[in-house]
Amino acid sequence: MHADATAQVSRSLFRRPPSVIPGFGITLGLTLTWLALIVLIPLSSLFLKTATLSPDAFWAIVTSRRALNAFKLSFGLSLVAAMINLVFGAIVAWALVRYDFRGRRLFDAIVDIPFALPTAVAGIALTTLFAESGWLGSVLALVGVKVSFTPLGILVALVFIGLPFVVRTVQPVLLDLDIELEEVAATLGASRLQTLTRVMLPMIAPALLTGFALAFARAVGEYGSVIFIAGNLPNVSEIAPLLIVIRLEEFKYADATALAVVMLVASFLILLAINRLQRWSEQRTGRL
């Protein structure tokens, strides 16, 4: 009886329009199995491990001064970096889509460097570049700005890795924008600035926000490019992912896991927000 009901539920859950294409059962089964083995079971081990901590012990770990400072630094700087990327990413996307200039194709390809360049390589390169003996660092030192081995260095690394997310999200939406809308706005007497802010900005706003959220999500978890340039002083320039690694190396697995759970829950929430934004963006622009 019970088995019967289960079978019925599972049939109705997985009911689909009749299809002549074969392989549904096996491909879905393999997908779910592989997903469980590689992603879901490993990630759930975090929660399993954390469950061995008492709530008080968990709370003490994640609200310790060092942890709070690391979270503040990671989330705060990621937010600032994402905002910088929002502004400059929009400018770069606009220039690449709307204007023709020499080297446009080259600069278009260059946008993807942070996707392709390994983070450790980016880390040591940025550190050298912004160190006081480096090309940019020596110039900045003249005006008294120190970048490498300070929180400002972390910001530079986070801006580096986040930029393509904004550009690549906004670019296709800008390309697909209906030219006639702009022309109608102009015909009806809108100034160029009015057309941009009242007609076009609302159209690309969801894409901008999606790119912002993607850049933010990536920055929060970033490790490789940051640890070289950060200086890694506890409470000052120590990011949350680094604190997790430090706890691991001290064999304090429970501590590392508790911190990781906080980060993971935060990324879940960001991911949910991104999905919402993307759906909104699709509705707004009619793109799929």
Partner 1 sequence: MAGIIGRSHRHRADIVPEGASDAREEPAAVRWTIIAIAIAFLSVFLVLPLVTVFQEALAHGVIPYFRALAEDDALAAIRLTLLVAAISVSLNLVFGIIAAWAIAKFDFFGKSLLITLIDLPFSVSPVISGLVFVLLFGAQGYFGAFLQAHDIQIIFALPGLVLATVLVTFPFIARELIPLMQEQGTQDEEAAISLGASGLQTFFRVTLPNVKWALLYGVLLCNARAMGEFGAVSVVSGHIRGETNTMPLYVEILYNEYQFVAAFAVASLLALLALVTLIAKALLERRAAAE
Site for partner 1 in 126-155 (CB under 8 A): 126, 128-129, 134-136
Q: What separation in angstroms does the CA of 29 have from each of 5, 15, 48?
A: 21, 15, 25
Contacts of 19 (CB under 8 A, 6+ apart): none
Counted residue by residue, the chain has a size of 288
Neighbours of 62 (CB within 10 A): 17
What is the distance of C-alpha 160 from the center of its chain? Answer: 12
Query: How far is the C-alpha of 132 from the C-alpha of 125, rounded, in Å?
Result: 13
Please state the closest distance from residue 214 (CB atom) to partner 1, in A: 9
Binding positions for partner 1, 173-232, rule CB under 8 A: 175, 179, 182-183, 186-187, 192, 217-218, 220-224, 228
- From candidates 60, 83, 205, 264, binder to partner 1 by CB under 8 A: 264
Q: Which is nearer to partner 1, 31 or 235 (CB)?
A: 31
Q: Cβ 236 to partner 1, closest distance in Å?
A: 20
CA angle, 212 then 213 then 217, to 5°: 120
- Binding residue for partner 1 (CB under 8 A) from 56, 65, 251, 286? 251
Q: What is residue 158's DSSP assignment?
A: H
Q: Tell me the per-residue interface mask from 7 to 26 with partner 1, x by CB under 8 A, - otherwise.
A: ------xxxxx-xxxxxx--
Binding mask 35-64 for partner 1 (x = CB under 8 A): x--xxxxxx-xx-xx---------------
Going residue by residue from 64 to 103, which x/- string records binding to partner 1, judged by CB under 8 A? ------------------------x--xx-xxxxxxxx-x
Return the DSSP state at 38.
Answer: I
Rounded alpha-carbon distances, angstroms, from residue 206 to 169, 219, 281: 10, 20, 5
Tell the smallest beta-carbon distance from residue 63 to partner 1 (Å).
Answer: 19
Nearest to partner 1 of 41, 236 (CB atom):
41
CB of 82 to partner 1, least distance (A): 13
Question: Least Å distance between CB 135 and partner 1?
Answer: 7
Judged by CB, which is closer to partner 1: 150, or 228?
228
Residue type for position 207: A
> Which of 60, 199 has the CB closer to partner 1?
199
Token code pair at residue 247: 């706890």
Residue closer to partner 1 by CB (options 41, 145) is 41
Report the site for partner 1 in 99-118 (rule: CB under 8 A): 99-101, 103, 105, 107-118
Using DSSP, state whether 143 is helix, strand or coil. Answer: coil
What are the percentages of helix, strand and coil residues in the chain, rounded to 5? 80, 0, 20
Minimum distance of partner 1 from residue 62's CB (angstroms): 14
**Pick from 287, 175, 274: which is nearest to 220 by CA?**
274
168 exposure class (CB count in 10 Å sphere: 0-12, 13-18, 19+): middle
Chosen residue from 241, 255, 258, 281 binding partner 1 by CB under 8 A: 241
From the list 56-64, 147-155, 201-209, 263-271, the region that binds partner 1 by CB under 8 A is 263-271
Rounded-to-integer distance, Cα 17 and Cα 227, Å: 52
Site size toward partner 1 (CB under 8 A) is 103
